Amino acid sequence: MHDEGGDKKRVIPAPLESEPRVHKARRAAPADAIRPTRAEVNLEALRKNLRVVKKHADGAKVWAVLKADAYGHGAPAVARTLERAGADGFCVALLEEGVELREAGIVAPILVMGGYYGGAYAEVLARDMTPVIYDESHLAGFAAAARALKLDKPVDVHVKLDTGMARLGLRAENLESFADKLTNVPELRPSGLMTHLASADALSQEHTREQMVRFDEMTATLEKKGIRPLVRHAANSAALLRAEARLSAVRPGIALFGVSPRAVGNDGDVGAPFDSELAPVMRVRTEVVDVRTVPVGQTVGYGGLFRATRDTRVATVPMGYADGLSRQLSNRGHLLVRGKRAPIIGAVSMDMSMIDVTDIPGVGITDEVMVLGAQEGPQGRDNITADEVASRIGTIAWEVLTSISRRVPRFYREQ
């Protein structure tokens, strides 16, 4: 990945026949949809969020993070939209994710951040992706691949530094030794330097600032070894929106999809969003497929977790935990029907769930049910956000969005 970015005319050669071929899982397509459960992705909202992010980036390159199928939104369509809208490049966690983008026609730079290449070094380079390196095995693997491909210039790589995440990256005590080896590999050119922030959404920014001090110190160490990357990057969505660690490039992920990180205190309290302009990009909807009255005393669902204390009107919807509706929402979550909240009753099962519509007049088969997003109907208007769902089940919005499974088809719209 180059700092100058934007070369839309590059030609992506085919992978070597002798190298492992990377395969990807097939996503349910709209044309395959029979049941009414689907995720709708608003591409205009996505473009709006990119504009908001660019404003916060203040001139830094914006490399959109599209790992985990673009946070559940469908990476190929999202990448095509963002590429046309002016994103400078993309970041993925896995080689397989990068392959999917290239096969979808994406020509913008792609940075593979996860660091595990499974021996498919030549495939990374043949697809014109930029690898992140931090281990000596990467040096040997990519150098050999570059020689096998007979490339006419050094391969751009980004070096990852561990400044306090303790997950991946070079530690300070190993930095000089690695730098000496890297400078003796002419096939590789360290054009980028990166780190990963561990606490960018913490109430206090002390840890983030400590990490950036270490990043600067480690950068200086590399410069003494003759390694002077063109670009440095560290900021995720939280850091970007708080004007921390912006450097020459930023890596927004969740913000592009309309979820603003919030400050989280040591006691778990969550503050206001860092940005209120971001718009949700995905909504998940389904329809009622059955309505019945359950008499007092009868149970509902697996394990009889709900027992009717009155004659209860129960609607069944074709979405369950295999689709991304968490089983932890059993007897505690809500869905929207006719513009009003309906409690989820009983256990969320693999393919279906039940809601109590006793207090919502007129509910019938084929009525729209909103799982995630806003709905307006004859009984009012309401909205279920990823943040709300996350707070109910003790997780984060990132997990809620990425849990919407590939068997739920994505429909793309402009509004």
What CATH number did the domain enclosing 305 receive?
2.40.37.10
pLDDT at 276: 87
| 8 A C-beta contact, residue 352 and residue 318 | yes
Q: Has residue 406 been placed in a domain?
A: no
**Confidence check: pLDDT of 218 > 80:** yes
d(CA 212, CA 205): 11
Residues 286 and 342 in one domain: yes
Segment holding 63, helix H or strand E: strand 61-65
Residues 201 and 153 in one domain: yes
pLDDT at 23: 55
Please tell me what DSSP assigns to residue 23: -
d(CA 125, CA 144): 11
The letter for the amino acid at 80 is: R
**Confidence check: pLDDT of 49 > 70:** yes
Pick from 273, 293, 311: which residue ends a domain? 273
Partners of residue 91 on adjacent β-strands? 65, 111
Q: What is the DSSP string of 229-283?
A: -SEEEEE-HHHHHTT-S-TTEE---GGGGT---EEE-TT--EEEES-S-----EE
Q: What is the average per-residue pLDDT within 341-364?
A: 98
The whole domain housing 123 covers 43-273
Residues 311 and 227 in one domain: no
Residues 176 and 66 in one domain: yes
**Confidence check: pLDDT of 3 > 50:** no
pLDDT at 29: 77
Residue 4 pLDDT class (50, 70, 90 cuts): very low
* Residue recorded with tokens 């990374």: 124
Q: Has residue 391 been placed in a domain?
A: no
Residue 270 pLDDT class (50, 70, 90 cuts): confident
Residue 272 pLDDT class (50, 70, 90 cuts): confident
Q: Has residue 400 been placed in a domain?
A: no
Q: What is the average per-residue pLDDT within 115-133?
A: 96
Torsion of CA 48, 52, 54, 55, to 10 degrees: 140
Burial annotation 74-86 (CB, 10 A radius, 16+ → b, else e): bbbbbbbbbbebe
What's the domain count of the chain? 2
Residue 222 pLDDT class (50, 70, 90 cuts): very high
d(CA 129, CA 117): 12
Residue 275 pLDDT class (50, 70, 90 cuts): confident
Residue 31 pLDDT class (50, 70, 90 cuts): confident
pLDDT at 128: 97
The residues annotated as belonging to the active site are: 67, 302
Q: Has residue 29 been placed in a domain?
A: no
Residues 210 and 357 in one domain: no
Q: What average pLDDT does the structure give for the chain?
A: 93
Q: What is the average per-residue pLDDT within 227-236?
A: 97
Q: Tokens in use for 169?
A: 């990256």
364: exposed, middle or buried (Cβ count in 10 Å: 0-12, 13-18, 19+): exposed
Q: Has residue 291 been placed in a domain?
A: yes
Q: Tokens in use for 376?
A: 């307006």
Pick from 247, 273, 299: which residue ends a domain? 273
**Confidence check: pLDDT of 15 > 60:** no
Cβ neighbours of residue 150 under 8 Å, at least 6 residues apart?
none
Torsion of CA 65, 71, 74, 76, to 10 degrees: 10
| 8 A C-beta contact, residue 112 and residue 135 | no
pLDDT at 230: 94
Residues 166 and 223 in one domain: yes
Of 30-39, 255-264, 351-360, the poorest mean pLDDT is in 30-39
**Confidence check: pLDDT of 13 > 60:** no
**Confidence check: pLDDT of 14 > 60:** no
Burial annotation 114-153 (CB, 10 A radius, 16+ → b, else e): bbebeebbbbbbbbbbbbbbbbeebbebbbebbeebeeee
Q: What is the percent of the chain where pLDDT is above 70? A: 92
Residues 224 and 352 in one domain: no
For the stretch 131-184, pLDDT in tens is 999 999 999 999 999 999 999 999 999 999 999 999 999 999 999 999 999 999
Q: Has residue 364 been placed in a domain?
A: yes
pLDDT at 28: 75
| 8 A C-beta contact, residue 223 and residue 217 | no
Cβ neighbours of residue 360 under 8 Å, at least 6 residues apart?
337, 338, 340, 342, 379
| 8 A C-beta contact, residue 77 and residue 40 | no
Q: What is the DSSP string of 154-216?
A: PEEEEEEE-SS--SSSB-HHHHHHHHHHHHT-TTEEEEEEEE--S-TTBSS-HHHHHHHHHHH
The letter for the amino acid at 4 is: E
CA neighbor of 2 nearest in space, from 226, 153, 104, 223: 153
Any idea what the CATH number is for the domain that residue 84 is in? 3.20.20.10
Q: Has residue 411 been placed in a domain?
A: no
* Residue recorded with tokens 């609607």: 315
Residues 93 and 227 in one domain: yes
Angle formed by the axes of helices 136-149 and 172-183, nearest 10°: 20
